[in-house]
Amino acid sequence: MSSMNSSTQNLTPEMFQPIERDTLAQEGVSSKKITFWGDVWRRFLKNKGALIGALLLLVIGILAIVGPEIHSYSYRSVNYDLINKEAFGDHWFGTDGAGRDVWTRTWYGAGISLLIAFLATAFDLFIGVPYGCISGYYGGKVDNWMQRIIEVLYGIPNLIVIILLLLWMKPGIIAIALALGITGWITMARVVRGQMLKLKSQEYVLAARTLGASTRRMLTKHMLPNVLGPVIITIMFSIPTAIFFEAFLAFIGLGIRPPEASLGVLINDGYKVLQLFPYQLFFPALVLSLIMFSFNLVGDGLRDALDPKLRQ
Amino acid sequence: MGRFALQRFMYMVITLWVIITLTFFLMHTMPGSPLQHEDKLPPELKEEILKEYGLDKPLPVQYVTFLGKLAQADLGSSFKYDGRSVTDLIMQGFPASLQLGIQATIIGVIFGIILGCVSALRRGTWVDNVANVFSILGYSVPNFVLATLLSYYVGVKLQWLPPAKWDGPEYSILPTLSLAVLVMATIARYIRTEMLEVLGQDYMKTAKAKGLSARTAIIKHALRNALIPAVTVLGPLIIGLITGSLVVEQIFAIPGMGWMFVDSIQVNDYTVIMGITIFYSALIIVGMFLVDVLYGIIDPRIRIGGVQE
């Protein structure tokens, strides 16, 4: 007590100056704001597996674009003097039974496989998202009927429809993507509808409606941005599925026709000469597996980053 | 429950009808005819053959005839194997496919549960990481790649097991493995997620607090509850196994249904393609129906939600 007195004795009122009180500043948040997407990004970066996946995808993507250009060989030029050359020589991945460069064909094929997967996913988005939106947003009778249709379609096995469609159409890039898209959008529609139903009962949606927002504005400005997370996750898992199906179809003889190449076609070609020239199967199979592995890693990482339930 | 099952049953019937109709019309408007490779046949003989199989009648008539026969399990006869009925062919190929499917399911489920549990219990450690990479690899490596590699390296190079054919139990080991990996990976991921959720529940703390051993708590409380939602993966698993069997049977030269299906696609054998398509669809659709009903019995929330929407 005495020590305090001694210290206060030295203080005089002149030494103090009142500061203007700023109530606004007091209310302010001093730490840096983290947006939802900022948080997702931060959590994604922390996930080592997902980062490795993203990096691999980047490398594969670049190679699929520039890979076929590195050598002067074209993916379709035939050279019968150089058939079935071993790998790691002049031709990095060797040559196939028609003397075509396997390195060039593998990356060209990877590009085609990715293209088919992206096209198929675009179909998913263009049909699935509007369907799910309308069904979930309007609800009632509309939803009821749209759901009945989905229930029936959902029960039809994908594989069978895809095979039937490809027997019916001539297998090509568009035909395969279309067949995959026709069966794939149902999952997307279900995901979007589920999210819509959940969002519809949120207060901010009610507030927007009370303030007189139009249906269009409600959907595009308030609801769709909030559905984006699950939609991205669905995309990340539907791309590898599409790539798998393309390869699978090629393997059972329903792929695109040579000299065009996709990873599935190359694997099928390699399988035929496996006993003699295993490298012809090995490289395309490795690239295919790597693509699927990376997409799955990134998809897992995004799901963990986007799902609030999994936060620790 | 009765209403829920009935509703599901109705969907099942409608779905089956849609797929049968779709199959029929797509098959009949398809480019290429079953006789396209028989150029040497004189036209009169071709007509005679088409007449015998009823292919000369208008499409709607063929459709009604087809539905009528289907109701009696008569799927017509194969074009390629002269005079063999499709039902016969399916019954001949089915046992091998079924055996493979069952073996793969049993092995996949057992190892999947073990992998998923270990992964969840050691969350964040290297054990978890290894298990995770293993299961992601499991469904990233396409089954036809895996089957090819197994057949080549284990079968041809090392000669430990027969690389192909179907002559006894040892011939089923490699194909079973090729199929089981996907089952294992799927189950392991599912169990891991469910286990993590269950392990965080209050009743797990209660179990620990009242002095249960870790083993009893995990097996009786955690695993049992984690297993219930795993019923839902059974549907996709059936589909995965059928998809896989198409290529795996091809690679290991197993005379099963998958092999027969791929073969019939390559030679435009309409009736066999149609027959197997319908058989597969029925298998999958009935499987999904059973899973739905089973899940409704296990978890009452589903059936209430299912009826009221």
Work out the average pLDDT over B193-221.
Answer: 82
Task: Tell me what percent of the residues of chain B surpass a pLDDT of 90.
Answer: 0
Residue with tokens 């870790």: B214
Q: Does B245 touch chain A (CB under 8 A)?
A: no
The C-alpha of A221 sits at a distance from chain B's nearest C-alpha, in angstroms, of 27
User: Is the pLDDT confidence value at B255 over 80?
Assistant: yes
CA distance A276 to A186: 43
Spans of all domains in chain A: 59-73+93-310
Find out whether the peptide bond into A259 is cis, omega within 30 degrees of 0.
yes
User: Is the pLDDT confidence value at B77 over 60?
Assistant: yes
pLDDT of residue B308: 35
Question: Tens digit of pLDDT per residue, chain A (312 long)?
Answer: 445 555 566 788 888 888 877 777 777 767 777 777 787 788 888 877 788 888 888 888 888 777 766 666 666 666 666 666 666 666 666 666 666 777 778 888 888 888 888 888 888 888 888 888 888 888 788 888 888 888 777 777 777 788 878 877 777 788 888 888 888 888 888 888 888 888 888 888 888 888 888 888 887 777 877 888 888 888 888 888 888 888 888 888 787 877 778 888 888 877 877 777 777 777 888 888 888 888 888 888 888 777 765 554
pLDDT of residue B241: 82
Residue with tokens 């992601």: B136
pLDDT of residue A263: 82
Q: Which residue is closest to A143 within chain B, CA to CA?
A: B309
pLDDT of residue B158: 77
Work out the average pLDDT over B107-134.
Answer: 86
User: Is the pLDDT confidence value at B301 over 70?
Assistant: no
* Residue B306: other Cβ atoms inside 10 A: 15
* Residue A95 β-bridge partners: A101
The C-alpha of B251 sits at a distance from chain A's nearest C-alpha, in angstroms, of 9
pLDDT of residue B309: 32
The C-alpha of A89 sits at a distance from chain B's nearest C-alpha, in angstroms, of 24
User: Which amino acid, residue A224?
Assistant: L
Reduce the DSSP state of residue A101 to 3 states and report it: strand
User: Which amino acid, residue B36?
Assistant: Q
pLDDT of residue A95: 67
Show the tokens assigned to B151: 């057949």
* Dihedral sign, Cα of residue A257, residue B182, residue B177, residue B88: negative
Q: What is the ipTM of this complex?
A: 0.77
Q: Does A156 touch chain B (CB under 8 A)?
A: yes
CA distance A239 to A58: 15
pLDDT of residue B32: 59
Q: Which fold has domain A59-73+93-310?
A: MetI-like fold (1.10.3720)
pLDDT of residue A87: 62
Give contacts of B266 with chain A, Cβ < 8 Å. 253
Q: Which fold has domain B86-302?
A: MetI-like fold (1.10.3720)
Cα angle: B235, vertex B238, B242; to 5 degrees: 145
Which of B15, B132, B309 minimises the CB distance to A155? B15
Work out the average pLDDT over B237-243.
Answer: 79
The C-alpha of B49 sits at a distance from chain A's nearest C-alpha, in angstroms, of 23
Give contacts of A252 with chain B, Cβ < 8 Å. 246-247, 250, 262, 265
Residue B168 confidence class, pLDDT cut points 50, 70, 90: confident
Task: Tell me what percent of the residues of chain B surpass a pLDDT of 70.
Answer: 92
CB-based contact A288 B142, cutoff 8 Å: yes
Show the tokens assigned to A240: 């590898």
Size of interface A-B (CB pairs under 8 A): 114
Residue B16 to residues B27, B86, B187, B239: CA-CA distances in angstroms?
Answer: 16, 19, 28, 16
Selected residues 190-219 of chain A with any CB under 8 Å from a CB in chain B: none
Per-residue pLDDT tens for B264-294?
A: 877 777 778 888 888 888 888 888 788 778 7
pLDDT of residue A312: 45
Work out the average pLDDT over B87-109.
Answer: 85
CA distance B7 to B13: 10
Q: Does B54 touch chain A (CB under 8 A)?
A: no
Closest to A118 in 3D by CA, of A58, A189, A171, A180: A180
CB-based contact A253 B23, cutoff 8 Å: no
